[in-house]
A and B are shown apart, each in its own frame.
Chain A
């Protein structure tokens, strides 16, 4: 430091250039290291779970994936009831939440008067911010009793009719879409109504095991309903993003051709963004699969595989939440860790595909 005192101005500028180059490199490497930590975290997560579940993998082997028995005392562990509960409750949730979520986001992006858009979007965002344990509390004391008293008896009595009705309506739409191409005029319409009626009545008359009483309100069905409320904001937010990415010129072209609002939505908004919508639905499914607290509180926590949606069930996340801290043996802990591992694998695959889909549509319109 002392020997360059004489040539200070020049040395300073030169050295500051060179040290700044060095400092820049250090800074870049430092931030890159923290970015690398994220990759490390992902690998660590997977590896830790694999390690933790190794004892069960060794003892149970593949039967862990195929067995329906879950008996911690005997040391027998099968994951089927939990996988069944998780997947069925999540699909129920999607079935309910998708039409609502898409309806809301279409309403918000295309139809609603400007002054409604922000407040409604704001309320949906609040729905997303509510902690899941609060949903669970509401589920135990409000939703479950409501289901037990009002919804479940109705489903037990009229579940078959309801499914029949839905089948009938679907059949009428499907057959009129197909037959409309071949048979013009009123005959196609009449024929499709007849097909719908026959199909609906046939399905409605079948003895179906889906809705059987008596119900306690704590059931797979209630879990599906509460999940649908919780994933609604996800579907709404992402599909809204996807819809907003559609260029306005699409809408204007459709309108200029004389399309009604609904036709514009179908042709110019939904059709070009359907891949992104699939991504939105899959991300919501990912959320539903991993949701723990609210489900644990309303699903009834009984490890069984039953086609009866009104029976109590169990899910992967809820069995971990219930049993992990009071697991009776090391093998039990390891079995729960393996369920966690399975859950992670399922959500990872879903998330990877979903993100690729959403990215694909988001970039499509940028080109």
Chain B
């Protein structure tokens, strides 16, 4: 051997530890570059008009993404109406009634697998089910596509958090003669309220950044929406459209749109994470 055995072991150990640290360091480079670049490119166009004005044609100064921001918020509300009731109630079923039965196992597994279905595929489903029969792109279709995506996420986070409620609390409630449904609704859910809220926030943050399923469900619109039954702009689709356009001023606006989107998504995410830092503290 070139080196003696002990030295070789020590060197291998040191170099591998170094490599692991280096991996963590290198992975930060794209993140930092992306954050700094979005901030640098996006900041100078960021003003109040960006939030309140419609997009302008190429070459016309000013203009904003007011309609797209409103559209994104609309889509989030519709998606929540579709996704939250199903997700939360299914999650309650899994944690309260589905400890050890085949049906619950199947649902759990299916929802895990559903969360892996590519979002663009969900878009095609929403297109076929909603856009085609209605004969036009609409916020409803986009919202339904996003709502479908929320369901598995909300289901599993709700289940995890409701499960965390100590069993003794349930027993105390039963001992007082409170029926099970009331125990679940007014004791268990109330205890896990903040936790469920965290799960909801995380899923909303996730769909707020989605583009793919909106391309052919909500589509796009250059004007203020007149209702939820017509094509609706969203921040993500607008950023995409402007990013691949050949015009410099649109590309600049894409960066500002990306900055707003990033602030929106990260704010929701960090709020949720703040809650989530210590899951135990969520109870109560």
A-side residues, CB < 8 A to B, are 16, 20-21, 23-24, 26-28, 30-32, 34-39, 41-42, 44-45, 48-49, 51-52, 99-100, 103-104, 106-108, 111-112, 120, 122-127, 129-138, 140-142, 185-186, 189, 229, 232, 260-263, 265, 283, 286-287, 289-293, 297, 317, 320-321, 324-325, 336-337, 340, 343-344, 347-348, 350-352, 355
**Quick check: A186 and B2 within 8 Å, CB to CB?**
yes
Q: Given A23-B181, A129-B265, A351-B112, output 15 extra A-B contacts at Cβ < 8 Å.
A: A26-B181, A38-B152, A39-B106, A107-B23, A124-B27, A125-B273, A131-B209, A133-B239, A137-B258, A189-B1, A262-B16, A320-B120, A325-B137, A350-B116, A351-B116
A21 to B16, alpha carbons, bound, how many Å?
62
- Quick check: is B46 within 8 A (CB to CB) of the other chain? no
Given the known interface contacts A130-B265, A344-B117, the answer about A48 and B181 at a Cβ–Cβ threshold of 8 Å is no
SS class, residues of chain B in contact with chain A:
helix
Contact with A along B1-22 (1 / 0, CB 8 A): 1100000011011001101111
A262 to B23, alpha carbons, bound, how many Å?
15
**Quick check: B24 and A38 within 8 Å, CB to CB?**
no
A36 to B107, alpha carbons, bound, how many Å?
7
Given the known interface contacts A27-B181, A142-B37, the answer about A292 and B20 at a Cβ–Cβ threshold of 8 Å is no
B-side residues, CB < 8 A to A, are 1-2, 9-10, 12-13, 16-17, 19-24, 26-28, 30-31, 33-34, 37-38, 41, 85-86, 89-90, 92-94, 96-98, 103-104, 106-107, 109-114, 116-125, 127-129, 137, 148, 151-152, 155, 179-182, 184, 205, 208-212, 215-216, 219, 236, 239-240, 243-244, 251, 254-255, 258, 261-262, 265-266, 269, 273
Which of A124, A229, A286, A344 counts the most chain B CB atoms within 10 A? A344
Which one of A38, A126, A132, A283 lies within 8 Å of B111 (CB-CB)?
Answer: A38
**Quick check: B265 and A131 within 8 Å, CB to CB?**
yes
Residue of B nearest to A108 (CB): B24
A106 to B128, alpha carbons, bound, how many Å?
45
Given the known interface contacts A100-B26, A103-B24, A130-B262, the answer about A260 and B89 at a Cβ–Cβ threshold of 8 Å is no
Residues of A within 8 A of B251 (CB): 141
A134 to B236, alpha carbons, bound, how many Å?
8
**Quick check: A297 and B118 within 8 Å, CB to CB?**
no
Which of A32, A186, A189, A232 counts the most chain B CB atoms within 10 A? A32
Residues of B within 8 A of A103 (CB): 19-20, 22-24
**Quick check: A35 and B90 within 8 Å, CB to CB?**
yes
**Quick check: A51 and B128 within 8 Å, CB to CB?**
yes
A219 to B118, alpha carbons, bound, how many Å?
22
**Quick check: B114 and A42 within 8 Å, CB to CB?**
yes
Given the known interface contacts A133-B211, A189-B2, A336-B124, the answer about A262 and B13 at a Cβ–Cβ threshold of 8 Å is yes
B125 to chain A, nearest CB (A): 5
A212 to chain B, nearest CB (A): 26
**Quick check: B112 and A292 within 8 Å, CB to CB?**
no
Residues of A within 8 A of B125 (CB): 44-45, 48-49
Given the known interface contacts A32-B97, A39-B107, A337-B124, the answer about A186 and B1 at a Cβ–Cβ threshold of 8 Å is yes
